[in-house]
Amino acid sequence: MNRHSETRQEAAWLVVVVLAVAAFSACDDGEGLASLPEARAAAASASKAARLEVETAVAQAEAIDRPVVATGATQPIRAANLGVSTMGTILSIEVAEGDHVEEGQLLVRLDAAMAKLQTDQARAAAAAVKIQADQLETETERLSKLAQAGAIAASKSEQLDAQRSAVLHQQEAAEAGVKLAGRFASNSAVRAPFAGQISKVFQEEGELATMMPPMPILRLVDLSRVEVRVPVNERDLVRLQRGDRVVAHIPSLGAELEGEVASVGIELHPLTRSAEVVTLFDNADGRLRAGMFAEVEIRPSASERAVVLPRSALAGSGDERFIYVVDHCRARRRPVATLDLDDERVELREGVREGDVVVVRGVSRIVDGASIGTGTGCAAAFAERAVERTEAVR
C-alpha cells in the first residue's frame, strides 16, 4: 500500500467518526446521515462535552520591584582588641566596661621602669660609641697629614680610617637603639585609636601584659553606626548596587531603621551561590547593640523582569508546587519554583516560559494529561481540522 492510499484510508476513518457523531445526534428525527455542516457542529459539541472547562491565561513577563529580604546581626562599624607592643606590668586600667572614650584618650598604663632603664642603657651605649668615633676622627686626620708628609706609611693611615668607618656604623646602630628604647617606653601607655565604647576588659591591674604571645587588654567598639552583613543569592545580587535603600526591622526593639547598601560582594560562595552584602545604619541614639538580630529588606533601584501568574494557578503544597500548561488541548503538569509577590500574585522563577498557556482557574478539577476545553476555541479548532482533512481527501 503506497503512501497516498494510507492517507486516504486514514481520512476515511476520520470521516466515519465525524459522520457517526452527526448521525447519532440526528437519529431521533429519523433523517439518517446529517449534512456536512451539521457533522461539523456535532463533532465540536461532542468534543467539547468530553473536555473540562477551565480558564487559562498566557504567561507574560513584567517588571517587578521585588525587595531582597535577608537576615543578619548588627555589628559595630569598627572594633579593635587593644594590647601592648612591649612587655610590662599593668599599673592601672583607666576605663571600665561600657565607658565612652574619645580618640587618643589614655586607657591603660604599664610599669615603665624597665622601659626607662632600657632607654637609659641605650643612650649610654650611644654616647660611648660617639666618644670613640670622635677620637678616631681626630687621630685619622693627624695620621693622614703625616702620611702625606712621608713621615709614616700610608697603610697605617688607611688602617685607622677603616676602624673609624666601623665605629661610625656602630654609632648609627646605637642611635637606632635609643630610638627603639624610646618607642618601647612610649608604648607603656595604651590609648584609644578611635572614639567608641569599651566592650570588654580582659585583664586586671597587676597582671603581666605581653607582646608575644599577644594578649589583648580590652576591646573597643564604635557603634555610632552599625553594619548588618547578609548573604544574597546570585540571582538577586545583580540587581543590587551601593546606595540602594534598606529597611531593617529589629524585633527586640520593635523598631524599623532606614539605611543603605554600603558594599556588594564580588565573590560568591561555591556551595550556596551567594555573596555578602553589607548594609549600614546610623545609631546616633545608641539604641542598637552589637549582635542584635535584624530582618533586612533591600529595595533595589533596578527592577527585574519575571513571569507573574495569579495564585489560583498553583497546585500542590510546600516545596512541591506545580501548574498546568495547555499543550495541544491537554493539561501538562509542570513543577515550578515560586516567590510570593502579594496575596494574589506569585512570581514563577522556574518551570514556565513567557508565552505558555497556563490554567489559572479550575486547577483542582484536572489531572496531568486531561483533555480540556479552555474557552479559547481549542475543541472547535480540533473538529474544524478533522472536517477540513475529510474534505481535502474527497
| pLDDT above 90 (res 13) | no
Identify the pLDDT of residue 112: 66
Q: Which residue has the higher pLDDT, 280 or 367?
A: 280
Give 55-101 pLDDT, tens digit per residue: 888 888 887 778 899 999 999 999 999 988 777 888 899 999 999 99
**Does residue 96 come out as left (phi exceeding 0), alpha (psi in the -120 to 50 range) or beta?**
beta
17 by DSSP, 3-state: which?
Answer: helix
Task: List, for residues 316-338, the tens digit of each pLDDT value.
Answer: 887 788 988 998 888 899 898 88
Provide the phi-psi class of 150: left if phi over 0, else alpha when psi is between -120 and 50, else beta: left
Cα separation, 31 vs 39, whole angstroms = 13
Mean pLDDT confidence for 11-31: 39
The pLDDT-based confidence of 28 (bands split at 50, 70, 90) is very low
Measuring CA to CA, which residue among 362, 294, 290 is closest to residue 323?
362
Q: Quote the percentage of the chain above a pLDDT of 90.
A: 31
Separation of alpha carbons 342 and 63, rounded Å: 15
The model's pTM: 0.56
Q: How does the average pLDDT of the chain come out, rounded?
A: 77
Question: pLDDT at position 145, please?
Answer: 67
What pLDDT digit, counting tens, does each position of 159-184 carry? Answer: 666 776 776 767 777 777 666 666 66
Q: In what order do the strands lie in the sheet with 208-209?
A: 189-191, 106-110, 88-93, 208-209
With 0-12 / 13-18 / 19 or more C-beta atoms within 10 angstroms meaning exposed / middle / buried, residue 52 is: middle
Q: Give ∠ CA 251-290-214 in degrees, rounded to 5.
A: 160
pLDDT of residue 53: 74
Mean per-residue pLDDT, 237-262:
93
Average pLDDT of the segment spanning 95-110: 94
**pLDDT value of position 45:** 54
Q: Are 294 and 249 in contact (CB under 8 A)?
A: yes
- How far apart, in whole angstroms, are the C-alpha atoms of residue 182 and residue 121? 11
pLDDT mean over 15-39: 43
pLDDT tens for 257-297 read 999 999 999 999 999 999 999 999 999 999 999 999 999 99
Higher pLDDT, 9 or 224: 224
pLDDT, greater one: 284 or 148: 284
Q: What is the pLDDT of residue 35?
A: 52
* CB half-sphere exposure, 140, CA atoms < 13 A: 17
Predicted local distance difference test score (pLDDT) of residue 34: 45
Q: Which tens digits make up the pLDDT trace of 113-132?
A: 666 666 667 777 777 777 77
Distance CA 329, CA 391 (A): 23
pLDDT band at 243 (very low <50, low <70, confident <90, very high): very high
Strand, coil or helix: 133? helix
Among residues of the chain, what percentage have pLDDT more than 70?
70
